[in-house]
Homo-oligomer: A and B are copies of this chain.
């Protein structure tokens, strides 16, 4: 297409008067080569401006040094940046170990997700990190012959390693803190129950209320879409039930909720106490700054990358579950 013929290891070998094996071994340091010969090879490589063809290398060595990360990352301009932060963590480890990260967006949609997975033919990737769009999907059939690690959430029939946040414990602590402030009517606003994170948070909420001797009031509980608009709208609806506090399990929904409260001049925390999820910078510029559960998103990525690299390099598989703790950052909204 470009007309330029590629310089191969063969050309280098010819130029340096050595064999292709020698060139390869010089490049990879895989066997002893005398300094003299090394020099010749390096010289030839420079002269010809040789660049190794990593595709050919992958084909032969059956290793691509590419890891795919499949999550609802890029859905839209208004989407949650949580997984971006996670991706940053993954990336930081991979880069250090000489791997590349391929990002893939599932849009939190099973069809899209399945199509993406089937696009990762065997040999193309060395491993897959996935935040499953739903618990109800038989992923095992789809995966190729590479290690898979679930991140943030797991499907029902989890047969793989997983790296998760201890959502339940964190939520329990948060709700307890709200209770300690004397609140009884605590609203719960979250995304749908189709992912395990939401379920765990809901369990944390309900179990804490119940063990405090309170009844669950369904009208104070809302499972909406994960979006700013949904947060805004549902905040309005929930307010009519006269809660004195609200717990929002999603960052973007919390933004929407906060926008509603600001637009309607609701005083926080006097009229309504608010606790959100994820400690992104914006939570420091609301009025007042938001109390949140801080998920170690970057660390989640780091841990996951370490787990999958371990599996890749060991050649083992398993279904270890790792849980990372989330902390509460107390600011003025509670």
Contacts and interface: CB of A to CB of B under 8 A. Distances in A.
Interface stretch (A39-47, A152-160, A214-222, A279-287): A279-287
Number of identical monomers bound together in the oligomeric complex: 2
Contact of A6 (B145, B280, B281): B145
Contacts of A286: 285-287
Contacts of A315: 1-2
Interface in A113-134: 119, 121-124
A88 B101 CA distance: 15
Interface string A1-29: 11010100000000000000000000000
Nearest to A298: B77
A202 interface: no
A54 interface: yes
Nearest to A52: B121
A59 interface: yes
Interface residues of A, number: 60
A316 to B, nearest CB: 10
A84 interface: yes
Contacts of A66: 102
A205 B85 CA distance: 33
Given A59-B59, A91-B105, A123 B77 contact: no
Given A282-B282, A284-B255, A51 B87 contact: no
A151 interface: no
A101 B119 CA distance: 13
B255 A123 contact: no
Nearest to A101: B103
Contacts of A104: 100-101
Interface of A: 1-2, 4, 6, 51-56, 58-59, 62, 64, 66, 73-79, 81, 84-85, 87-88, 91-92, 95, 100-105, 119, 121-124, 144-145, 228, 252, 255, 258-259, 262, 280-282, 284-287, 289, 297-298, 315
12 contacts: A6-B123, A56-B123, A74-B87, A74-B91, A77-B297, A81-B84, A91-B103, A255-B285, A262-B285, A282-B282, A285-B286, A286-B286
Given A55-B64, A74-B84, A101-B103, 14 more contacts: A4-B145, A6-B145, A51-B144, A52-B121, A53-B59, A53-B121, A56-B59, A66-B102, A77-B298, A81-B81, A100-B104, A252-B281, A255-B284, A259-B285
